C-alpha cells in the first residue's frame, strides 16, 4: 500500500506518514548525532578570528580553535574576535582551564536545507584591527650596533690621520724644494696610511651590511606588512650599478619607518638625517673617484698639488659621513629597542 502524503505544517513540504512515524519512534533519528541534526550544527558553526604575537588574524572554526588551544598550539596571550563582538578579547577567557568535562552543547535547531535556496547575501562584518601584540627581536641588534659604531670611530680616526698626511704632502708640494729623500718619505707615509684606510674601510662596510640585514630582519619580525625589501636585497642593492644610486636609500627609509611604527609604517615621515646620510654617501663615491683619477695623473708639482687638494676634500667629506652614519644607526637601533621594551 502506498503511503498517503499530507502537508507538513509550517514548511509547505510534503511528508509521508511513514517518514513521520519513523521520525517520532526512532530515538536515533531524533538524537543529537542524527544526520539531520548534524547538518544543522554544521550550518551554524561559528568562525573565530585569531591573532597572536601581533600577526595578521587567521580564521578558524571554533572547535578547531579550542583543540589547538588545549594542545598548546596557540599561546595563552593570543586574542580572538567573532561576529557580534565589539572588540578583541584574550583567548584564555573563551577557554578557561577545565576542571571537569563541560556538558555537551545543546544541539542547534535544524534549519531546512534546500538546494534551490539562494546564497546568503548578508555582508560579513570585517573584524576590528587587533590590538598591538608583543614585539620581539628576531635577532637583538644591540651588540652588532656597538661593534659597528666602534669600527666607524676607528675608521674616522684613520681618516683624520690620512688628513694630516695629505696636509703634509700639500705643504711639501708648496715648498718648491722636493728632494728624492723627502719624496720617498712622503710616499712611504702615504702608502702606509692608505693601506690602513683601505683595510678599515672594507671591514666597516662588511659590518655595516650585516647591520642593515639584521635591522631589516627585525622589521619583518615586528609583523610589518607589505615591506618592499627583503633583508638580502636591502644589502644587495648597494652592488647593482645605477640602482645603487637610489635603491639602498629607499631600503634604509623603509627600515626607519617600520622601526618607528610597524603597524602603520607607510604613513611615517623620515627625518632630514636620512637625506644627509645618503647625500654624503653619494658625494663620497664621486669625490673619491675624482681623487683616485687625479692621483694617477701626477707627474709634476702642480698635478700633485691638485690631487692632494682633492684628497683633502674627499677626506673631510668622509669624516662628516662617519658622524652622520653613527647617528643614523644609533637612532634606528634605539627605536627598535623601544618597541620591544614598551611591549613587555
- Provide the pLDDT confidence category of residue 108 given band limits of 50, 70 and 90: low
**pLDDT of 39 higher than 60:** no
* Rounded Cα–Cα distance for residues 135 and 90 (Å): 17
- Three-class SS of residue 6? strand
pLDDT score of 120: 53
pLDDT score of 125: 54
pLDDT score of 102: 61
- Three-class SS of residue 58? strand
pLDDT score of 23: 43
* Rounded Cα–Cα distance for residues 205 and 119 (Å): 61
**Bridge pairing between strands 58-61 and 14-16:** unpaired
Q: Residue for cell digits 673619491? A: 288
Angle between helix 247-260 and helix 180-221 axes, rounded to 10 deg: 50
Q: Which of 4-18, 98-112, 132-146, 246-260 has the lowest mean pLDDT?
A: 4-18
Q: Which of 99-113, 130-144, 328-342 has the lowest mean pLDDT?
A: 99-113
- Provide the pLDDT confidence category of residue 215 given band limits of 50, 70 and 90: very high
pTM above 0.75, yes or no: no
**Mean pLDDT in residue range 295-316:** 95
**pLDDT of 167 higher than 50:** yes
pLDDT score of 45: 57
Q: Which of 33-37, 75-79, 159-163 has the lowest mean pLDDT?
A: 33-37
pLDDT score of 14: 39
**pLDDT of 2 higher than 60:** no
The CB-based long-range contact list for 152-158 (8 Å cut-off, 24+ gap) reads 152/204, 152/322, 152/325, 152/326, 153/322, 153/326, 154/200, 154/204, 155/197, 155/200, 155/201, 155/204, 155/322, 156/319, 156/322, 156/323, 158/193, 158/196, 158/197, 158/200
* Rounded Cα–Cα distance for residues 37 and 31 (Å): 8
Q: Give just the sign of the alpha carbon dihedral 102, 108, 114, 117.
A: negative
Q: Which of 12-21, 50-59, 225-234, 269-278 has the lowest mean pLDDT?
A: 12-21
Q: Give just the sign of the alpha carbon dihedral 18, 23, 24, 29.
A: positive
The x, y and z cell numbers of residue 110, run together, are 535544524
Q: Which of 25-34, 105-114, 147-156, 302-311 has the lowest mean pLDDT?
A: 25-34
H helix and E strand count, the chain = 11, 6
Query: In terms of pLDDT, which residue wins out, 41 or 261?
Result: 261
**pLDDT of 191 higher than 90:** yes
CA 143 to chain centre: 20
Amino acid at each position: 500500500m502506498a503511503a498517503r502524503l499530507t502537508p507538513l505544517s509550517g514548511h509547505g513540504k510534503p511528508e509521508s506518514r511513514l517518514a513521520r512515524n519513523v521520525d517520532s519512534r526512532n530515538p536515533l533519528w531524533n538524537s543529537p548525532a542524527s544526520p539531520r541534526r548534524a547538518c544543522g550544527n554544521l550550518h551554524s558553526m561559528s568562525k573565530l578570528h585569531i591573532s597572536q604575537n601581533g600577526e595578521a588574524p587567521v580564521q578558524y572554526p571554533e572547535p578547531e580553535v579550542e583543540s589547538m588551544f588545549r594542545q598548546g598550539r596557540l599561546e595563552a596571550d593570543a586574542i580572538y574576535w567573532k561576529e557580534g563582538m565589539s572588540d578583541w578579547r584574550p583567548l584564555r577567557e573563551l577557554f578557561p582551564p577545565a576542571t571537569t568535562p563541560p556538558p555537551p552543547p545543546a544541539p542547534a535547531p535544524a534549519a531546512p536545507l534546500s538546494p534551490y535556496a539562494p546564497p546568503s547575501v548578508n555582508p560579513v562584518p570585517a573584524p576590528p584591527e587587533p590590538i598591538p601584540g608583543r614585539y620581539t627581536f628576531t635577532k637583538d641588534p644591540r651588540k652588532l650596533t656597538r661593534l659597528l659604531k666602534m669600527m666607524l670611530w676607528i675608521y674616522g680616526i684613520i681618516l683624520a690621520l690620512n688628513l694630516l698626511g695629505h696636509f703634509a704632502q700639500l705643504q711639501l708640494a708648496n715648498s718648491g724644494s722636493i728632494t728624492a729623500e723627502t719624496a720617498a718619505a712622503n710616499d712611504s707615509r702615504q702608502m702606509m696610511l692608505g693601506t690602513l684606510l683601505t683595510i678599515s674601510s672594507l671591514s666597516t662596510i662588511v659590518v655595516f651590511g650585516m647591520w642593515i640585514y639584521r635591522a631589516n630582519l627585525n622589521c619583518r619580525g615586528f609583523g610589518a606588512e607589505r615591506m618592499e625589501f627583503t633583508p638580502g636585497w636591502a644589502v644587495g642593492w648597494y652592488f647593482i650599478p645605477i640602482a645603487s644610486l637610489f635603491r639602498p636609500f629607499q631600503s634604509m627609509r623603509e627600515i626607519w619607518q617600520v622601526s618607528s611604527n610597524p603597524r602603520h609604517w607607510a604613513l611615517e615621515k623620515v627625518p632630514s638625517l636620512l637625506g644627509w646620510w645618503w647625500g654624503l654617501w653619494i658625494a663620497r663615491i664621486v669625490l673619491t673617484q675624482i681623487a683616485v683619477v687625479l692621483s694617477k695623473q701626477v707627474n709634476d708639482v702642480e698635478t700633485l698639488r691638485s690631487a692632494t687638494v682633492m684628497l683633502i676634500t674627499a677626506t673631510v667629506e668622509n669624516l662628516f659621513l662617519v658622524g652622520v652614519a653613527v647617528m643614523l644607526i644609533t637612532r634606528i637601533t634605539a627605536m627598535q629597542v623601544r618597541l620591544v621594551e614598551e611591549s613587555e
